[in-house]
Chain A
Amino acid sequence: MTIYSFWIFDKHCNCIFNREWTLSSNTNSGIINAKQNEETSKLLYGVIFSLRSVTRQLSSDSKQSDIKSISTGKYRIHIYCTATGLWFILLSDFKQQYYTQVLQHIYGHIYVKYITHNLLIPSDLAENENEKRGQGVKRITNKNFIKSLETFLAPMIS
């Protein structure tokens, strides 16, 4: 059971957080909010966006069904979307089928606690019109958020 990387996208199609682990033996390895991941994040967003719209059109039920995971030959993408347009995305191997509860916990107990309840940082990272069209480069740099996310995800890396 290993997770490879973790991503958050906001409603303006911006990647607002990314974390990639490179060594499964060392939980501190890898990169946080790296610039080199910008292209990857756009690709990831595009894949999920298009597959989401496909699943919506294919669903026979009148209730809108949402995509939960995408599997390839090498890895699995887990997706959790909130009604406010936030996407929480986790890349992992095949050992575990669902990470829905993990992603829900990250949203409910880490993101809401340290980002939403913190009045001192902006609630929406895109401040002007230019950044609201997917061109924003702002990232979540809150120390409390990053630390508690790391401690929560550390047992799943190795």
Chain B
Amino acid sequence: MDATRSSRSNSNTHGSTRYHNQSQPTGPVTDQQRVKQQFQLFQDALPKVNSLSFRALINEIVPLAMSMEKIKDNSDTNELVEQEADTNESVKKDSDSKDSIEQEVDEVSKQLDTRLTLNTGKGEASDKLIRELCDSEEDVHERVMNRVRSMGLQIGCNLTELLVFSNNPNLHFRDMDILLIMKFICRDVWKQLFEKQIDNLKTNHRGTFYLLDYNYIPIQEFAIDEDESLDASANEERLLALVAPFLEIPAGIIKGVLVSFGYQSEEISCSASFIDRPTGDKTVGVFPKGVSFHVQVTASNP
């Protein structure tokens, strides 16, 4: 799924050296080492994709959700068109002269034409869709956010399957409690998706978790052309408002992972917000804020 998997391969160099030693009679290999070797072989055999294209696809979820919302608006009018076509056809079927059949064909092809032009939607650019989403009304915004969140949820559910059932020797699921699952998210899920771990995990041991990522990778390059007429803080506000939808994807992923471990989706609330970096550094070309995910689990163990 990801391309480099750098830190994991580091931890496995140990295992692979053991693998070479195996041919020499240095002693029997323990079960755990064999599992590690098998895991390494399995990892090497996994299909790999380019991490840049993967990240671009993850980011493209937000414009996709927005354009789906717009196409849905169009399809409401399409349904009307279809209904009209249906009534037309039923009227036409009563009279069975040749002329009417030809007319019918013409009519249907016209309908098809209009529907095609409506549905192809003139492929709008992603940046326009994002700006439109930011300026859209409350209920439209909420619908799009829900769509993004549910797409993240799907990714999260499937991702756990992939990570857990790949016989990862670092994972033990016998007595898995919520803290271990959160650690699993911070370590394995994040490494799989973004090639780094979450920087900080805070909890009160009563179902509240804060996952802090100071360099959330997919938004690092995002910046807007600053408006000269506004001051710096207004510009930053605008930037944060534009970027906020992108945080719903990882929030959905976290929720999806928890759901796939048996928690009910109503029992979990996961929200994302911007936080300041601890060092407060203003390096060039880095997103000015870190990200905090606030996870609240109300239920005890499932």
Q: How far is the CA of A118 from the CA of B130 in the complex (A)?
A: 12
B94 near A: Cβ within 8 Å? no
Secondary structure class of chain B's binding surface, majority of residues: helix
Which residue on B lies nearest to A113, using beta carbons?
B221
* Across-interface contacts of B284 in A (CB, < 8 A): 144, 147-148, 151
How many residues on B have C-beta within 8 angstroms of the other chain's C-beta atoms?
A: 23
How many residues on A have C-beta within 8 angstroms of the other chain's C-beta atoms?
A: 17
A73 near B: Cβ within 8 Å? no
Does B226 contact A120, Cβ atoms closer than 8 Å?
no
Does A119 contact B225, Cβ atoms closer than 8 Å?
no
A158 near B: Cβ within 8 Å? no
* Across-interface contacts of A143 in B (CB, < 8 A): 223, 226
B222 near A: Cβ within 8 Å? yes
A121 near B: Cβ within 8 Å? yes
Query: Smallest CB–CB gap between B215 and chain A, Å?
Result: 15
Q: How far is the CA of A102 from the CA of B264 in the complex (A)?
A: 54
Query: Smallest CB–CB gap between A54 and chain B, Å?
Result: 36
Partner of B224, one of A121, A123, A148: A121
Q: How far is the CA of A113 from the CA of B284 in the complex (A)?
A: 13
Partner of B221, one of A123, A124, A141, A144: A144
Which residue on B lies nearest to A140, using beta carbons?
B225
Q: How far is the CA of A123 from the CA of B130 in the complex (A)?
A: 13
Query: Smallest CB–CB gap between B231 and chain A, Å?
Result: 15
A29 near B: Cβ within 8 Å? no
Q: How far is the CA of A141 from the CA of B224 in the complex (A)?
A: 9
Does B63 contact A119, Cβ atoms closer than 8 Å?
yes
Does A142 contact B127, Cβ atoms closer than 8 Å?
no
A117 near B: Cβ within 8 Å? yes
Name 9 interchain pairs, CB-CB below 8 A, sorted by A: A114-B285, A119-B60, A119-B126, A119-B127, A120-B223, A123-B126, A124-B125, A144-B223, A144-B285
Contacts A119-B130, A122-B127 known; 9 new A-B pairs at CB < 8 A: A117-B56, A118-B222, A119-B60, A120-B127, A121-B224, A121-B225, A122-B125, A141-B225, A142-B225
